[in-house]
Amino acid sequence: MLNLQDQLNRRINPDWTRAGQRFLRAAFVESAEALEHHGWKWWKKQTLDLPQVQMELIDILHFYLSHAIVAHDGGDGAARALMADLAGADAVVLDGKTYALPDLDIPELLELLGGLAACGRASFKVLATTMTRCQLTWNEAFKQYVSKNVLNLFRQDHGYKEGSYIKIWNGEEDNVVLARLMTGLDAARPDFAEQLLAQLEQAYSSLK
């Protein structure tokens, strides 16, 4: 996944590791979006949209991987740091308070992800705990990661950076369309990414 992330980032900016991009700021925003999809407002009825919560967690994973590559001088250092983080204790200290991860519910975990990101910190341990709580295994995360990577490359190839890309497809955000297309494909197939890309192309061409 680190290699895939580097490939995507180089497509956007060949010199991305020296561009000073704020990946944890992006992770902070994604954690808030995940919280919105989960539901947290006590003054109104909200319905949990678990697939979209999972998708936002995959977005956080993208930004975490990017941050790790920069912070640890490349993919090898990032991989070592990631594994050490995952092997660490089930507790995180933030602002002088210790948070025992098994005791936190999903909204609290999402808040912790956001709080850490706002302080310039990333925790793969907290992310992995949140994924597990949201019924997202690492195998499923890999499937969704590859799918979102395909969508991100698709966006870049269709004018996302230039502002000409259409993000709402017949009333649905492209993330929602992606989630639906994924369910009809076998991620174990070696041509999974190519099949998904072809279906995205077909759906997008119908908008024009």
How confident is the prediction along the chain (208 residues), in pLDDT tens digits per residue?
898 899 889 988 999 999 999 999 999 999 999 999 999 898 998 899 998 999 899 999 999 999 999 999 999 999 999 999 999 999 999 999 999 999 999 999 999 999 999 999 999 999 999 999 999 998 888 888 888 889 988 998 999 989 999 999 999 999 899 988 988 888 888 888 889 999 999 999 988 6
Q: Give the largest CA-CA distance in the chain.
A: 54
Angle among Cα 82, 55, 38 to the nearest 5 degrees reads 110
The closest of 51, 47, 62 to 6, measured between CA atoms, is 62
Dist. CA 5–CA 149, nearest whole Å: 8
**What is the C-alpha separation between 165 and 156, in angstroms, rounded?**
8
What token pair was written down for 32?
Answer: 């808030």
* Residue 203, both tokens: 């759906």
Q: How far apart are CA 6 and CA 74, in angstroms?
A: 9
Residue whose C-alpha is closest to residue 150's, from 188, 202, 201, 78: 201
Identify the DSSP state of 190.
Answer: T
pLDDT recorded at residue 189:
85
Query: Distance between CA 4 and CA 163 in Å, rounded?
Result: 24
Tokens describing residue 90: 């089930």
pLDDT at 116 (0 to 100): 98
Judged by DSSP in three states, 124 sits in helix
The pTM of this model reads 0.81
Query: String of b and e for 162-186 (b: at least 16 CB within 10 Å)?
Result: eeeeeeebeeeebbbbbbebbeebe
